[in-house]
């Protein structure tokens, strides 16, 4: 029973727990994609709880057991030797783009902004649930609160940080919150590969942004050396700037894996 209580506390529905301020479901998705995603999530969660009821021990939050997913075609290079998983988060936010006067030109990437939610224990114990979370998070409206007691959608995943760009080429991850200090990491892109063809599309049908391997700059803290963006959902720009504003955003979600010196 204790094991199932821990699982429910980690991933339980809002009807079970005191209701914090959460984003609302996008009404345009409730009867289509959003409804199906929620159904898949809660059906799998119910199966996990039924199994956990029979377990004598609570699920383990041992990150050494967490295995980052890979793309079968053109996989990203593996983390450097000597690195271990330090943190796993679900990022939910926007990929940002700009357009000039030429409507036939492709939009220019202009960074991203996202709230990060602590999914480390889910990664360690329930990888199949973990990989549903980006698609699930995408069904809930922005903005997400940056407060550390805010939670992701219908889960109890707490905020573990924020992601933004300090300039055109430097993604930054701040994982220091009043609840827990994990580190900060300005990064540089090392590698990229296309998301799988069946990756979840965005709320307007946008393709999933690529998977990335990032190198933390020397001034990163917390021992963080590499960051991976995987299991992306949505976020890609349209092919051209036709009909777009000078600057615009495309909503996305993804798993972020942080590797530190072991």
Cβ contacts of 33 within 8 Å, gap of 6 or more = 139
Q: What angle do CA 107, 112, 113 make, to 5 degrees?
A: 145
The first and second tokens of residue 258, run together, are 């942080």
Could you state, in order of their start, the residue ranges of all structural domains in the chain? Answer: 2-261
DSSP string, the chain: -HHHHHHHHHH--TTTS-----PPB-TTTTTTHHHHHHHHHHHHHHHHHHHHHT-SSPPP--GGG------SSSPPPPPPTTEEEEEEEEEEEEEEEE--S-TTSPPEEEEEEEEEEE-HHHHHH-HHHHTTHHHHHTTBPSPPP-STT-B-TTS-PBEEEEEEEEETTEEEEEEE-SS-EEEEEEEEEEEEEPPPTTSPP-TTSPPBPPEEEEEE-TT--TTEEEEEEEEEEEBPPPSS-TT--SEEEEEEEEEEEEEEE-
Which residues does the chain have with pLDDT short of 50? 1-6, 9, 13-22, 30-31
- What confidence tens digit (pLDDT) does each residue in 206-247 have? 999 999 999 999 999 999 999 999 999 999 999 999 999 999
Contact in structure between 163 and 114 (CB atoms under 8 Å):
yes
HSE on the CB side for 160, CA within 13 Å? 23
Q: Is the pTM of this model over 0.75?
A: yes
Strand 224-234 to strand 211-216: parallel, antiparallel, or no bridges (unpaired)? Answer: antiparallel
Contact in structure between 230 and 211 (CB atoms under 8 Å):
yes
Q: How many Cβ atoms are within 10 Å of 257's Cβ, its own excluded?
A: 25
* pLDDT score of 14: 38
- What confidence tens digit (pLDDT) does each residue in 68-84 have? 999 988 999 999 999 99
Q: 224 to each of 78, 143, 184, how far by Cα in Å?
A: 15, 28, 8
* pLDDT score of 25: 53
Residue with structure tokens 């506390």? 9
* pLDDT score of 32: 57
Integer Cα distance of 172 and 258 in angstroms: 12
Partners of 90 in beta bridges:
117, 255
């Amino acid at each position: 029973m204790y094991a199932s209580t821990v699982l429910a506390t980690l991933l339980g529905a809002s009807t079970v727990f005191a209701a914090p301020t959460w984003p609302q479901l996008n009404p345009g998705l409730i009867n289509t994609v959003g409804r199906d995603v929620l159904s898949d999530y809660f059906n799998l969660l119910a199966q996990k709880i039924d199994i956990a009821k029979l377990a004598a021990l609570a699920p383990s939050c041992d990150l050494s057991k967490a295995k980052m997913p890979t793309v079968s075609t053109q996989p990203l290079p593996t983390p450097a030797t000597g690195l271990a998983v330090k943190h796993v988060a679900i990022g939910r936010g926007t990929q940002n783009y700009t357009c000039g006067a030429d409507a036939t030109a492709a939009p220019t990437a202009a960074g991203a902004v996202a709230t990060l939610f602590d999914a480390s224990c889910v990664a360690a114990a329930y990888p199949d649930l973990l990989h549903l979370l980006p698609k699930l998070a995408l069904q809930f409206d922005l903005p997400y609160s940056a407060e550390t007691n805010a939670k992701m959608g219908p889960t109890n995943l707490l905020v573990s940080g924020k992601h933004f760009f300090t300039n055109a080429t430097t993604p930054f991850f701040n994982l220091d919150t009043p609840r827990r200090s994990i580190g900060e990491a300005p990064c540089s892109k090392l590698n990229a590969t296309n998301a799988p063809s069946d990756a979840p599309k965005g709320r307007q049908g946008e393709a999933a942004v690529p998977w990335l391997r990032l190198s933390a700059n020397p001034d990163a803290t917390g021992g963080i050396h590499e960051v991976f963006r995987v299991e992306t959902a949505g976020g890609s720009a349209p092919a051209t700037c036709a009909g777009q504003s000078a600057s615009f955003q495309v909503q996305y979600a993804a798993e972020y894996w942080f590797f530190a010196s072991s």
